[in-house]
Amino acid sequence: MEPQKAKILYVEDDINLGFVTTDNLNLKGYQTVYCKDGKAALEAFAKENFDLCILDVMLPEIDGFTVARKIRETNKNIPIIFITAKTMKEDRINGFMTGADDYITKPFSIEELLLRMEVFLKRSKITENKTSLPVHFTIGNFHFDFENLFLEDKKKKNQLTLKEAELLRFFCMNQNKILKREEILKTLWGDDDYFMGRSLDVFISRLRKYLSNDKRIELENIHSVGFRMSVAIK
């Protein structure tokens, strides 16, 4: 018997699109809970356990950005994919700033949505595949646990999102090395377009904030090239 796939929270106020997408996800074996507005989505999220959220930006009752922020208040780890209008550039940037891991623009194909979903589900603990990459790192005074998505020192423990953890691990595995922007984007986002570049800047800012307690750690912007993370020796 094939194992049951992940449970998805899908929020879309366009009922026709919502039903079509839900049917397609269910046909692929996903358990899909479909909500037509932000309020219903938050109520469902409070009652049930989900593995991934797909949120439209423009929603009745409570908008998608607010839904994402409230989800992130209780769950830092769950992947969130925003659905945005193609012409609304600000939506994509705001989406990343409120904790989204990825975005998909309308109109989209179900194949594209499934591929983006699988990227995050394969990286999360829904699959039991073990990776050969290291999961524990020491960064100055910090301990970074990739497997459990946290970064801590003696003063504070920060719970990371999956994308934050992936980016930090990439820097840890390439410490003191200049990493080109396009290299980071293609490795972690799969592409290097303008909006993904802006989202990378957002995540870099977050990591700098998390690491700011140790002044020896520098996440340096190499002008017109990329970034480098280094830790000064005591």
pLDDT per residue, tens digit, the chain (234 aa), is 344 578 999 999 999 999 999 999 999 999 999 999 999 999 999 999 899 999 998 898 999 889 998 998 888 778 899 888 755 666 666 666 666 778 888 888 899 899 888 877 876 654 444 445 788 999 999 999 998 889 999 888 998 888 889 899 999 999 999 999 988 988 887 766 666 778 888 899 999 999 999 999 999 999 889 999 999 876
Residue where a domain stops, chosen among 92, 123, 154: 123
Please tell me the total number of residues recorded for the chain in this structure.
234
The domain that holds 177 is classified in CATH as: 1.10.10.10
Crossing angle (nearest 10°) for helices 110-123 and 162-172: 60
**Contacts with 170 (C-beta within 8 Å, 6 or more apart), sequence order:** 179, 184, 187, 188
**Region for 215 from its dihedrals, namely left if φ exceeds 0, alpha if ψ lies in -120 to 50, beta otherwise:** alpha
- Claim to verify: residue 146 and residue 92 sit in the same structural domain: no
- Which domain, by its residues, includes 184? 136-231
Domain count, the chain: 2
* Cα separation values, 89 from 86, 96, 144, Å: 7, 12, 33
| 163 domain residue, yes or no | yes
pLDDT value of residue 130: 44
- Claim to verify: residue 118 and residue 47 sit in the same structural domain: yes
Element of type H or E holding 205: helix 194-211
**Contacts with 92 (C-beta within 8 Å, 6 or more apart), sequence order:** 82, 84, 103, 105, 195, 198, 199
What single-letter amino acid sits at 88? M
- Claim to verify: residue 150 and residue 214 sit in the same structural domain: yes
- Claim to verify: residue 105 and residue 178 sit in the same structural domain: no
C-alpha to C-alpha distance for 77 and 154, rounded to whole angstroms:
22
Residue where a domain stops, chosen among 71, 102, 123: 123
3: preceding bond cis by omega (within 30 degrees): no
Whole-model pTM above 0.75?
Answer: no
| 81 domain residue, yes or no | yes
Q: Which two tokens stand for residue 17?
A: 């699109």
The domain that holds 27 is classified in CATH as: 3.40.50.2300
| 143 domain residue, yes or no | yes
- Claim to verify: residue 149 and residue 220 sit in the same structural domain: yes
What single-letter amino acid sits at 5? K
- Claim to verify: residue 163 and residue 55 sit in the same structural domain: no
Please report how many Cα atoms fall inside a 13 Å half-sphere around the Cα of residue 64, on the Cβ side: 29
Q: Which two tokens stand for residue 32?
A: 């899909």
| 130 domain residue, yes or no | no
Contact 159, 76 (CB under 8 A): yes
pLDDT value of residue 167: 93
- Claim to verify: residue 58 and residue 146 sit in the same structural domain: no
